[in-house]
């Protein structure tokens, strides 16, 4: 079966995980810090905080900013539900802004209009499919209004902003959140990472991910029980905020460290695959490609295409089932978040999101991942061409 995406885990990766399990710590050890350092160094950020999932990372990022309950947070409707759910976890209010049809990313113009009419505290741009949002423009809009920015870069580790810095450097945001789910740029099974250049946010994130506990003697509030004869008690710790159990394990971090050694290789393979798709699909009738010039900057996590299903013989579901019979799996990224029953029950609609709606009804993600061979890719293209031209 040719899957739309999958993990790429080698025997060496497995050996390093086994070594960690057999001879090293399983959790709360040094491997976490090593993994955090590797990611921070790679993207060019000062700090990185490993967490149990990308969703956990988004949740903690909102909490770390400290905005009040009910604060408005702008984000994209074309994303996995975790992007908006994390806003609600923080007792804040998701506001959906329409997308650009040629990229699937947040529309800067629609964002600008929204900021002018609403009191917005945070913007959460989503780097859809690994293609960078126009972060320089988003940052300029936010800076003028003193609005915070959290980048949802679940798709984008290994990608670059248009200005050349790596996604995650936080040059245009307060924090960036990555996911290490098996289909992402690298995997730790499940897991995530928050990067930032702000020391205050960094310390707060560390505390929030571990039940709100800290062991910094300079910040102890209960001096009477924290010290014996003016010497800090070795067992002592304090919880002075409500935190969560969002830690990553050292087992996961061992896999993450090993995977980071191959990230650039993975990126080269994804760019090669995306380039070949572009070359062989560009002239295919009833198919539109997204942002063809973004391949060199994108992490190419997905390869979505837009198909005019009104002009071809098959519905999207029929096309997907026929491809599956040929052992090719495809996927739809994504059902717009406001269309889910939970959000509909909260009075969200697609009324002001025409691009997102049109995008949803025509988008299809075809296979792209480092393990995809050239012959498999050509099989995907051949079957797609045959079905669309029938």
Beta bridge partners of 366: 303
Instruction: Give residue 312's pLDDT.
Output: 94
Tell me the two tokens of residue 247: 């830690």
Burial of 336 (0-12, 13-18, 19+ CB in 10 A): buried
The CB density around residue 172, as the number of other CB atoms within 10 Å, is 24
For residue range 71-87, list pLDDT tens digits in order: 999 999 999 999 999 99
Is the pLDDT at 390 greater than 80, yes or no?
Answer: no
Of 137, 170, 136, give the one whose Cα is nearest residue 151: 170
For residue range 45-81, list pLDDT tens digits in order: 999 999 999 999 999 999 999 999 999 999 999 999 9
DSSP codes of every residue in 210-246: BTTEE--GGG-S-HHHHEETTEE-TT--EE-S---B-
The CB density around residue 54, as the number of other CB atoms within 10 Å, is 27
| Sign of the Cα pseudo-torsion (336, 337, 343, 347, in order) | negative
Of 117, 121, 116, give the one whose Cα is nearest residue 150: 121
Is the pLDDT at 27 greater than 90, yes or no?
Answer: yes
Q: In the predicted model, what is the mean pLDDT of residues 166-182?
A: 98
Instruction: Give residue 74's pLDDT.
Output: 98
Q: What is the dihedral of CA 133, 135, 138, 142, to 10 degrees?
A: 140
pTM of the predicted model as reported, rounded to 2 decimal places: 0.96
Tell me the two tokens of residue 184: 């992402």
The yes-or-no answer to whether 11-260 and 263-389 have a common fold is no
Is the pLDDT at 292 greater than 80, yes or no?
Answer: no
Cα separation, 14 vs 61, in Å, equals 31
Q: What percent of the chain has pLDDT over 90?
A: 96
Of 319, 185, 321, 200, give the one whose Cα is nearest residue 260: 185
Instruction: Note the Cα 318 to chain centre separation in Å.
Output: 30
The DSSP output letter for 155 is: T
For residue range 213-242, list pLDDT tens digits in order: 999 888 999 999 999 999 999 999 999 999
For the chain, domain boundaries: 11-260, 263-389
Instruction: Give residue 251's pLDDT.
Output: 98
Is the pLDDT at 114 greater than 80, yes or no?
Answer: yes
Instruction: Give residue 291's pLDDT.
Output: 83
Q: Which CATH architecture has domain 11-260?
A: 3-Layer(aba) Sandwich (3.40)
For residue range 330-389, list pLDDT tens digits in order: 999 999 999 999 999 999 999 999 999 999 999 999 999 999 999 999 999 999 999 998
For residue range 91-108, list pLDDT tens digits in order: 999 999 999 999 999 999
Is the pLDDT at 295 greater than 70, yes or no?
Answer: yes
Instruction: Give residue 293's pLDDT.
Output: 65
Q: Which CATH architecture has domain 263-389?
A: Alpha-Beta Complex (3.90)
Backbone angles phi, psi at 255, to 5 degrees: -65, -40
Of 320, 324, 270, 332, give the one whose Cα is nearest residue 1: 324
The CB density around residue 41, as the number of other CB atoms within 10 Å, is 11
Backbone angles phi, psi at 20, to 5 degrees: -60, -45
Burial of 53 (0-12, 13-18, 19+ CB in 10 A): buried
Instruction: Give residue 218's pLDDT.
Output: 86
Q: Is the peptide bond before 70 cis (omega within 30 degrees of 0)?
A: no
Q: In the predicted model, what is the mean pLDDT of residues 18-27?
A: 96
């Amino acid at each position: 079966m040719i899957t739309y995406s999958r993990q790429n885990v080698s025997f060496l990766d497995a050996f390093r995980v086994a070594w960690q399990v057999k001879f090293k710590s399983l959790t709360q050890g040094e491997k976490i810090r090593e993994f955090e350092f590797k990611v921070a160094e790679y993207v060019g950020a000062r700090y990185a905080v490993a967490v149990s999932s990308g969703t956990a990372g988004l949740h903690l990022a909102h909490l770390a900013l400290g905005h009040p309950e009910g604060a408005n947070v702008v984000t994209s409707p074309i994303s996995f539900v975790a992007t908006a759910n994390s806003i609600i976890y923080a007792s804040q209010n998701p506001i959906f802004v329409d997308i650009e049809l040629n990229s699937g990313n947040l529309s800067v113009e629609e964002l600008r209009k929204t900021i002018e009419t609403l009191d917005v505290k945070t913007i959460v741009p989503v780097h859809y499919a690994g293609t960078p949002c126009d972060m320089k423009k988003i940052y300029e809009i936010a800076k003028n209004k003193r609005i915070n920015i959290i980048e949802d870069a679940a798709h984008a580790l290994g990608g670059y902003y248009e200005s050349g810095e790596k996604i995650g450097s936080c040059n245009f945001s307060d924090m960036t959140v990555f996911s290490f789910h098996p289909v992402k740029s690298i995997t730790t099974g499940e897991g995530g990472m928050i990067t930032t250049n702000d020391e205050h946010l960094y310390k707060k994130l560390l505390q929030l991910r571990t039940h709100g506990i800290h062991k910094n003697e300079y910040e102890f509030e209960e001096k009477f029980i924290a010290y014996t004869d003016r010497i800090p008690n070795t067992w002592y710790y304090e919880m002075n905020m409500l935190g969560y159990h969002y830690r990553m394990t050292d087992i996961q971090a061992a896999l993450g460290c090993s995977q980071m050694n191959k990230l650039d290789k993975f990126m080269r393979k994804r760019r090669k695959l995306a380039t070949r798709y572009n070359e062989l699909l560009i002239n295919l009738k009833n198919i539109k490609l997204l942002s063809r010039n973004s391949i060199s900057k994108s992490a190419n996590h997905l390869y979505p295409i837009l198909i005019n299903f009104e002009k071809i013989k098959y519905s999207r579901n029929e096309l997907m089932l026929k491809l599956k019979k040929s052992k090719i799996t495809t996927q739809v990224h994504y059902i717009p978040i406001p269309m889910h029953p939970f959000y509909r029950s909260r009075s969200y609609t697609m009324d002001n999101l025409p691009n997102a709606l049109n995008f949803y009804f025509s988008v299809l993600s075809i296979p792209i991942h480092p393990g995809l061979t050239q012959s498999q890719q050509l099989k995907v293209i051949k079957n797609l061409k045959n079905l669309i031209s029938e």
